Amino acid sequence: MINLSSARARLCAAALAAIAPSMALAQTPESKPPAQSAAPAAQVQQNAAPAAQIQQIQPSAAPTAQIQQAPIPPLPNRVNTVLPSWLRLRGEFRERFEGFDNGGFTAGRDDYYALTRVRVNATVTASKSLSFQANVHDARVADKTIGPTTAPFRGPFDLRTAFADVGSATAPIAFRLGRQELAFGEQRLLGHLAWVNTGRSWDAARVIVRSKAFQADIFGASLVRSLPDEFDKSGYGNRLAGVYATTVKLIPKASVEPFLFWRRDVNLRSELTTVGNLSQTTVGTRVAGKLPVGLDYGVEMAMQRGSLAADSVDAWAGHWQIRESLPGAGAIKLIGEYNFASGDDNPTDGTRQTFDQLYPTGHDKLGLADQVGWRNVHHIREGVEFTPIKATPISVSYHSWWLASRNDALYAASGAAIARVAGGASSTHVGQEIDFQVTRALTPQIQMAAGYAHMFTGAFLEQATPGASYSQPYVMVTYVFLAER
């Protein structure tokens, strides 16, 4: 058995300390965390009403009417109650301790470090049809000794988003102009990447078209690069344009979401060793809905065509998931999932078959350890989610992966190649992983989370790398200040 390093021991102790108090707080009044959507979390406007609102209870047989007073938020969360109604502030502090054992699947290559992030968001509402938002953030890393310490770990004080919204939330046409996040569906192709310290944003123009039957987001954007010693900038030849539509009218109890993205980049190396420009189109559809007897499902498929210099692009990917909600206590859900992404059978024939996962929020999509991404892969997942204590969901997952093509690489959640066998691997089995995660909202302003992933290497990784198993724990606290939650 490998002896735990002092850093790992401290991390595991912190994880236990985070989980244990949460169990003891089962009787504490709770508030659910805000639900995620395509809109950035930091862009949620706070209600103009004072926090200490009085809720009237309907008269009953009691001789006097009962009056219930909502809990008053702590003082640091009541700033908006003294500001003018057109100005709202929200701050978020996040601290995460994480690390890994056997990085690069090499025994003894361990690292544990702290990630600190502060964000402050300001919303100015000029009218029902015109508002402005700006978000600044500061991201730092401490005690990291292996690998880079720049983005996505470190991003000193910078402007993360700054945009104008023209048109109301119900207008048939509206615009969002400026530095913003792009996040659609389950963020398998386009996401804000909130898990990493620096996140992701775009300099973009976006048109939202709405009707009773559908909504369509049409945009043109350039990725903002996180620069460690100067203000972040977009450009550098990178372009992304697309349309993402949503309708609930085509399939009963389901959302159908067709999309088309066009990506351009410059100075990339082709399979034929020349350097040229990428022009690539991704077209596909996501469908998510409910079935009888407590079942719900999700399907997403995408096809890619285009060119890079003299190379042609011919790739595709798919995601299929079904979930069953069991009756009774504990809110138990059983999950079965299969993911596929094409790989390149011949890396020198001038046809690029490796699926490009674009700009996803890739964390925990194919495993909590993030050692496998949506490229050149077959992936199965079996899992269970349950809530044994109020507001304390727990998830346990099993993963297994195989390469789609033994002549291509294994790609991480970031999209980067991390292992390859020259001339082709003798086996395509990458390995297996067990994940455990728990979250707890201690108050409406403070949320704790902890998790642990252990990856068992398969025959491919044993051939392509030293083959040591890989572990990754984390414990995280998020604190919202200025706003009520």
Which helix (H) or strand (E) covers residue 154, if one does? none
Give residue-wise pLDDT tens across range 384-421: 999 999 999 999 999 999 999 999 999 999 999 999 99
Quickly state the pLDDT bin for 365 (edges 50, 70, 90). Answer: very high
Rounded to the nearest 10°, the torsion over CA 32, 36, 37, 38 is 150
pLDDT exceeds cutoff 90 at 210: yes
Residue 127 has pLDDT above 90, yes or no: yes
Residue 300 in this model has a pLDDT that exceeds 70: yes
Q: Which of 17-21, 100-104, 113-117 has the lowest mean pLDDT?
A: 17-21
Q: What does the pLDDT look like over 434-454, one tens digit per residue?
A: 999 999 999 999 999 999 999
Give the model's pLDDT for residue 68.
57
Residue 185, by phi and psi: left (phi above 0), alpha (psi -120 to 50) or beta?
left
Query: In which band, very low, low, confident or very high, does the pLDDT at 44 lie, cut at 50, 70 and 90?
Result: very low
Average pLDDT for the chain:
88
Tokens of 260: 């088309």
pLDDT of residue 67: 53
Provide the β-strand partners of residue 240: 221, 263
Confidence at residue 7, expressed as pLDDT on a 0 to 100 scale: 47
Mean pLDDT, rounded, for 161-178: 97
Considering the chain, what percentage of its residues have pLDDT values greater than 90? Answer: 80
Cβ atoms 223, 202 nearer than 8 A: yes
pLDDT at 485: 82
List the chain domain ranges.
Answer: 6-30+71-118+247-481
Which residues are CB-contacts of 231 (< 8 A; sequence separation ≥ 6)?
158, 159
pLDDT at 16: 43
Asked if residue 21 has pLDDT above 80, the reply is no
> Each residue of 246-287: pLDDT tens digit?
999 999 999 999 999 999 999 999 988 889 999 999 999 999
Q: Is the pLDDT of residue 36 over 80?
A: no
Q: How is 242-262 classified by DSSP, letter by letter?
A: EEEEEBSSSSTTEEEEEEEEE
* CA dihedral angle for residue 15, residue 413, residue 163, residue 225, rounded to 10 degrees: 110
Residue from 84, 95, 93 nearest 46 by CA:
84
- Check residues 26 and 121 and name the one with the higher pLDDT: 121
pLDDT of residue 34 exceeding 80, the answer is no
According to the model, what pLDDT value does residue 475 have? 98
Q: Please give the Cα distance from 112 to 99 (Å, whole number).
A: 4
Asked if residue 299 lies in contact with residue 317, where contact means CB atoms within 8 angstroms, the answer is no
107: which 2 tokens? 């025994």
Burial state string for 182-210 with b = 16 or more CB within 10 A and e = fewer than 16: bbbbbbbbbbbbbbbbbbbbbbbbbbbeb
In terms of pLDDT, which residue wins out, 232 or 60?
232
Q: What is the distance between the alpha carbons of residues 455 and 418, in angstroms, rounded to a whole number?
A: 15
What's the fold here for domain 6-30+71-118+247-481? Answer: Porin (2.40.160)
Q: Which of 379, 458, 467, 469 is nearest to 426 (CA)?
A: 458
Going by pLDDT thresholds of 50, 70 and 90, the confidence category of residue 242 is: very high
Q: Which of 48-52, 195-199, 207-211, 333-337 has the lowest mean pLDDT?
A: 48-52
